[in-house]
Amino acid sequence: MTVLVVGDVVDDIVVRPLTPDAADSDTPSTISACPGGSAANQAAWLGALGTPVRFAGRAGAANAEEHAAALAACGVDARLAADPGAPTGRIVVLARGGRRDMYTDRGANLNLVPADLPDALLDGVGLLHVSGYSLFHPGVAAAVGDLMRRARERGVDTSVDPASAAFLARTGAAAFRSWARGARLVFPNLDEGRLLTGEHAPAAVADALVADHPVVALKLGAGGALVAARDGTRLRLPSVPAEVVDPTGAGDAFCAGFLAAWADGRPLDDCARSALGTAARAVASVGARPPATATEYGSRPA
């Protein structure tokens, strides 16, 4: 099964302080420039896991070809629109052990338009996966929502990763749930799930979301994952032990691992184990992409 992923592509600047912060002065750090973006990361991991995958998004004209090449190195059929006026989005990621703070400029991602998402993208596709970042901006949400409608008309399943608790809180749960309703699978983390449902306990969050989505994979960080399905399935699995070097992209890798197994027709417990194993691989290296195939951007200015 070919998976189509739609959403953001960005330049990640990952900062890892080597000492406690020195207020108003210099903190020794390692700084890496890497390709990123939630949806692009998910596509890259899917490709690295051997799943046929296509990606659609928008980058600045100055480095759209570079981003397409980075995705192609992971086995992704990248269909990137080159924006002549806006730069590729950028995120500064401040990574401290198991925590990361992100400072986000979405850049050209905010200019994604219907012309970037033609019907031909859906040819041969069995699943359309959408990063929630594409549902937080009205114009982009309209374009992506129309693609989701066209996918459903073709009998193509859809899935959604809410992606950002902060953006979700600003947008509002009701608006987001109306955009995402109809997706077969949803991949919130616990903070996002609580915002979407008003529930607190993981089991209650999953039960509430199953009303909208037949399959819910709730990401619980170090606590593993809870998978719930409308047929009554409830699976609670622990995380896979890993040395956390950089948690950036762990949730993206989780989605990709789950969808790779889903695309192979494997049962939900296998999908969950694949998701957790892929997330463990992601946190063990710097950057949000598969370490064996990610392109380093350190040779150009950050």
DSSP track, 163-217: --HHHHHHH-HHHHHHHHTT-SEE--BHHHHHHHHS--SHHHHHHHHTTT-SEEE
Catalytic residues: 252
**273 pLDDT exceeds 90?**
yes
Confidence category of residue 14, pLDDT binned at 50, 70, 90: confident
- Give mean pLDDT, residues 178-189: 93
Cα atoms in the Cβ-side hemisphere of radius 13 Å centred on 34: 25
Question: By three-state DSSP, how is residue 98 classified?
Answer: coil
pLDDT value at position 286?
80
State the Rg of the chain over Cα: 18
pLDDT value at position 16?
87
- The answer to whether 87 and 8 have CB atoms below 8 angstroms apart is no
- Give mean pLDDT, residues 157-184: 92
φ/ψ of residue 45, rounded to 5: -65, -40
59 or 99: which carries more pLDDT confidence? 59
pLDDT value at position 292?
63
pLDDT value at position 298?
37
**296 pLDDT exceeds 60?**
no
- Give mean pLDDT, residues 199-228: 97
pLDDT value at position 98?
65
pLDDT value at position 111?
98
Q: How high is the mean pLDDT of the chain?
A: 93
State how far the Cα of 209 lies from the Cα of 136, in Å rounded to an integer: 19
**302 pLDDT exceeds 50?**
no
pLDDT value at position 300?
38
- Give mean pLDDT, residues 60-89: 97
